[in-house]
A = this chain, B = another copy of it.
Amino acid sequence: MRRDANAPLGVFDSGLGGLTVVRALRAALPHEDIVYLGDTARVPYGTKGPGTVTRYALGCASHLVARGVKAIVVACNTVSAVAPERLRVELDLPVLGVIEPGARAAAEATRVFKVGVLATAGTIASGAYPRAVAACSTRVETIGQAAPLLVPLAEEGWTDGDVPRLAARRYLEPLARAGVDVIVLGCTHYPLLYAVLEREAKDLVGPHVTIIDSARAVAREVASFLADRSLLRSADSPGTIRLLVTDLPNAFDRTASRFLGSEVDGAEQIDL
């Protein structure tokens, strides 16, 4: 099927966390139009079983396909862990997940062949990162650390001070003990805590530690993907961002702005 380079990019996530990926895409691809769908009525996916997550993901992706997107970025680690192949097969459209780009960047960056991953309990339990890293290099060992407190800290906006610092240290310590030199932020919420995580990682692991922000890794891969296939939008005007949600959560604007890094013009509520 011939795709239209001027069609928008579709991005979806279980909630608003995926807006950090939109922010990174906007920085890497300022001319692209983006349609973002946050399934806020059913957030979070991380606590749900693979069958449920796949069904929800197909619902989100099909809605974006109906809006004529040229490719889909799955800005959700849970979906990227369980359903990417299924989405590719069912949708007949390019589908890019958030796990492979971060895993690839980590496998390339490590000098000691040990990579740490901070993610939600669901993503860690899925084993998706060890698999994705092993697909890049069988020499690299992956050590996962579930970090459930980081999502509410990011949503609260508690991004510096003692609570995030101590929580970050508690999650980073096992990775430091394991001897990693690269740490992947394997959840779309974590870029909001980048500064505190980087500071504490430098202290615990050492100044040479590399922090991989999955959102930026994804944006770089999407940019090359579109360029390689001549699918970049041909326009000099800045691209638009359209927000769709399945429920309007409390304090939507404030939370969405925090993740997107700029003001939000409001969102359209849709039914899936």
Where the two chains meet, the residues of A that have a C-beta atom closer than 8 Å to any C-beta of B are 15, 40-44, 47-49, 52, 121-122, 125, 148-149, 151-153, 155-156, 158, 162-163, 166-167, 170, 247-251
Hey, which chain B residues are within 8 Å of A47, CB to CB? 15, 40, 43, 247, 249-250
Q: From DSSP, what is the main secondary structure of chain A's interface residues? A: loop
Instruction: Give CA–CA (A40, B122) in the complex, Å.
Output: 14
Out of B52, B122, B156, B247, name the residue touching A49 (CB < 8 Å): B247
Instruction: Give CA–CA (A248, B125) in the complex, Å.
Output: 14
Whether B52 pairs with A48 at a CB distance below 8 angstroms is: no
Hey, which chain B residues are within 8 Å of A44, CB to CB? 44
Question: What 9 A-B pairs are tightest by C-beta distance, nearest first?
Answer: A47-B249, A163-B166, A148-B152, A152-B152, A149-B152, A49-B247, A162-B166, A121-B250, A125-B250
Hey, which chain B residues are within 8 Å of A49, CB to CB? 41, 247-248
Out of B148, B156, B250, B251, name the residue touching A156 (CB < 8 Å): B148
CB distance from A78 to the nearest CB of B (A): 11
Hey, which chain B residues are within 8 Å of A250, CB to CB? 47, 121-122, 125
Hey, which chain B residues are within 8 Å of A125, CB to CB? 250
Whether B162 pairs with A155 at a CB distance below 8 angstroms is: no
Instruction: Give CA–CA (A35, B48) in the complex, Å.
Output: 22
CB distance from A63 to the nearest CB of B (A): 18
In the complex, what residue of chain B is closest to A126 when comparing beta carbons?
B250
CB distance from A42 to the nearest CB of B (A): 7
Given contacts A148-B155, A149-B153, 13 further A-B contacts (CB under 8 A): A40-B47, A41-B48, A47-B247, A48-B247, A49-B247, A125-B250, A148-B156, A149-B158, A149-B163, A162-B162, A163-B163, A163-B170, A166-B166
Instruction: Give CA–CA (A179, B203) in the complex, Å.
Output: 40
Instruction: Give CA–CA (A248, B122) in the complex, Å.
Output: 12
